[in-house]
Amino acid sequence: MAHQTDGFTLIELLTSITILAIVLLVFFGFFGQGLSFSTTTSHKQTAVHLAKETLQAVKESDDKNKIPDSFYSGDEPLESKNYPTNFFSPDCPGCIELNGETFYPAVSPDRSLSEEYGLFPVKVVIYNDPSHKKVLTFTYGYLKGGS
């Protein structure tokens, strides 16, 4: 009796398909995580840009004497009407809508830094919710005004 050995057995074929399926599942899992990480990074990068843009708008408002003196003496955040940026949405006062996301900037005096050389420290924080619970990013800067 001649024994034929050409081709694959059913067990070999099922084993190779199972291994291929496991490898593909792992590969697509990494792809999904990479896409999610990319979206999160893009969101945070946009927030950093908005923080810098907001700080620049505050500095320009300070140069034009549009910031009230009460801001320099208190701990209250600056209202968004005192630092208008090109990004503020007319439908959402005090928030910025950009790239399909909504951001909530807050500018406040920073009492942890000391005033030196006539410069007043401020902190710009970008939140991703109106209740200001989750901080996306923050930056510090100085204004020429203040006491």
How confident is the model at residue 39, as a pLDDT? 83
Helices within 9-121 (DSSP H only): 10-63, 69-73
Look at residue 7 in the predicted model and tell me its pLDDT: 79
Cα 125 to Cα 110: distance, rounded to the nearest angstrom? 11
Which residues on adjacent β-strands are paired with residue 121?
142
- Show the tokens assigned to 107: 């500018």
In the chain, domain spans: 10-143
- What does the pLDDT read at residue 147? 47
Which pair of structure tokens corresponds to residue 76? 């209250």
Angstrom distance (rounded) from CA 108 to CA 135:
14
Fold for the domain defined by 10-143: Pantoate--beta-alanine Ligase; Chain: A,domain 2 (3.30.1300)
Measured CA to CA, the distance from residue 61 to residue 108 in angstroms comes to: 14
Q: Are 125 and 69 in contact (CB under 8 A)?
A: no
Q: What angle do CA 106, 111, 114 make, to 5 degrees?
A: 125
**Residue among 130, 126, 129 nearest 139 (CA):** 126
List the chain pLDDT tens, one digit each, 147 residues: 566 667 788 899 999 999 999 999 988 888 888 888 888 888 889 889 888 988 888 888 777 777 777 777 666 677 766 666 666 666 777 788 877 888 888 888 876 666 667 778 888 888 888 887 888 888 888 887 654
Q: Name residue 120's beta-bridge partners.
A: 143
